Amino acid sequence: MKKILLITTLLISTLAASAQKNTSQSYIEKFKDDAVRIMHETGIPASIVLGVAMHESGCGNSTIAQNLNNQFGVKGGGGAVYTKHNKKVRTAYKKYDSVMDSFQDFARIMTERKQFSHLADALSHYDYLGWAKGIQRSGYASSRKWASQVLGIIKKYDLHDLDEKPAEQPRTPNQPQLAETN
């Protein structure tokens, strides 16, 4: 009887703990539309926006993602304060009102900072490989493995599919068909 009670307690606590964490798939579902919207506004591939966010925030599970809505590890903004274990924590990371604000600030950094803005001029929103390598070469992260880690996430979850051209719209019954040329 004690074994059953122990196993049940462990199972319930495991399920409760996992219910509080974002999974990769739930993170993608929750934020893919935001990433696509940013791609159409800025030219940064949606796969890059989402892949970098997943990598930098642990799919939204990192402390700064949870407490500051900061999905990209962006520093600045005068230092934010949050509470952890009933203690105030002062941090150099920037605090955002929402995850979307964090996504938009990342896009602003990529398109407006001289360090990265050349990427938007040189690369299309289909070239996620070029973006990942270019962001790393431009000094976004100090790790030499950063681009390959982000690319691994993009490939593992087929995030590059978000960068594809939208499917051709079906013809409406009153819309004339274009003549084919042979």
Could you say which of 1.25.40.80, 1.10.530.10, 1.10.150.130, 3.50.50.60 is the CATH number of the domain covering 23-163? 1.10.530.10
Q: Where do the domains of the chain lie?
A: 23-163
What is the pTM for the complete model shown? 0.78
The three-state secondary structure class of 82 is strand
Low-confidence ranges of the chain (pLDDT < 50): 6, 15-19, 168-172, 175-182
Query: pLDDT tens for residues 47-87?
Result: 999 999 999 999 999 999 999 999 999 998 777 888 888 88
